[in-house]
Amino acid sequence: MPATATLKRRFVTAIAAASCLFAGLPAHVSWAQATPGLTIFSGIPREDLLNDYHLDFEGRSGFNRERFKLRIPGNRVYAGVADIYITYPKYFKENQGKFDLEKVEVRLKNDRDRTFPIRSVSEIDWSEQNYQIAISLEQPIPAAELEGGQKIEVVFSGVRNPDRPGFFYFSCEVQAPTEVVRRYIGTWVIGIDDSSGGE
């Protein structure tokens, strides 16, 4: 009998401790993030996921001065890059997501995150009907410059995040100077968080 009473007391103590622990947690837990983290169920094959991106201002919904940094691994580009095509989902626009085409940059970065000079952009074509932004470079990036951990970083500043939180799939294709067909590189799964803080 005393063993049962002791067991009961330990059980009640454990329940009390657990309830105190959960009471101390914030009511709102953020499920979107400014960096890629771990994507388990995206519907995108693992080999097609582009896991290297950053949102400078944490990806809050409705925020109108966000900066997207979308990184393309150099080891996925085989013949250099003359043009970059980024396609975004229809529901990005439907929820008031917008880009400022005056604030688009293309950079090279190395594996230590050191940024090299910005690549001049000769033309940007925003096809709002097709939900695609085409970026043409003045000078193509040769494949040799993308060896040894180099990445291409496409920077969109002044982005207006969608009003509704969720996950937004941005696909990337590139066209080499010597090719007539675009090559699919992969897809970023970008999380936009609820700016209301769960209220």
Q: What is the structure's pLDDT at 78?
A: 86
Residues 122 and 61 sit within 8 Å (Cβ to Cβ): no
Task: Please check whether residue 20 lies inside any domain of the structure.
Answer: no
Q: How far apart are CA 71 and CA 182, in angstroms?
A: 18
Kindly state whether residue 55 falls inside one of the protein's structural domains: yes
Residue 17: inside a domain, yes or no? no
pLDDT at 14 over 70: no
pLDDT recorded at residue 26? 37
Tell me whether residue 10 is in a domain. Answer: no
Alpha helices in 52-138 (DSSP H): 90-94
- Alpha-carbon gap, residue 33 to 37, rounded angstroms: 8
Number of domains forming the structure of the chain: 1
Question: Does any domain span residue 1?
Answer: no
Where are the alpha helices (H) located in the chain, listed in sequence order? 2-23, 90-94
CA–CA separation, 18 and 26 (whole Å): 15
Average pLDDT over residues 114-133: 83
Is position 170 within any domain?
yes
Each residue's pLDDT tens digit, 136-170:
999 999 988 888 878 999 999 999 999 999 999 99
pTM of structure:
0.75
Please report whether residue 13 resides in a domain: no
pLDDT at 29: 35
Query: What is the rounded average pLDDT for all residues in the chain?
Result: 81
**What is the pLDDT at residue 64?**
92
Supply the CATH number for residue 141's domain: 2.60.40
Helices and strands, number each (H, E), in the chain: 2, 9
CA distance from start to end of the chain: 49
CA angle 107, 112, 114 (to 5 degrees): 35
pLDDT at 43 over 90: no
Residue 168's pLDDT is what? 96
pLDDT value at residue 199? 40
Residue 70 C-beta-side C-alpha neighbours within 13 Å: 29
Domain that holds residue 142: 31-192
> Is 103 within the bounds of a domain?
yes
Would you say residue 116 has pLDDT above 90?
A: no
Please check the confidence at residue 27 and state whether its pLDDT lies above 50.
Answer: no
Q: For position 15, what pLDDT does the model report?
A: 54
Backbone angles phi, psi at 103, to 5 degrees: -125, 50
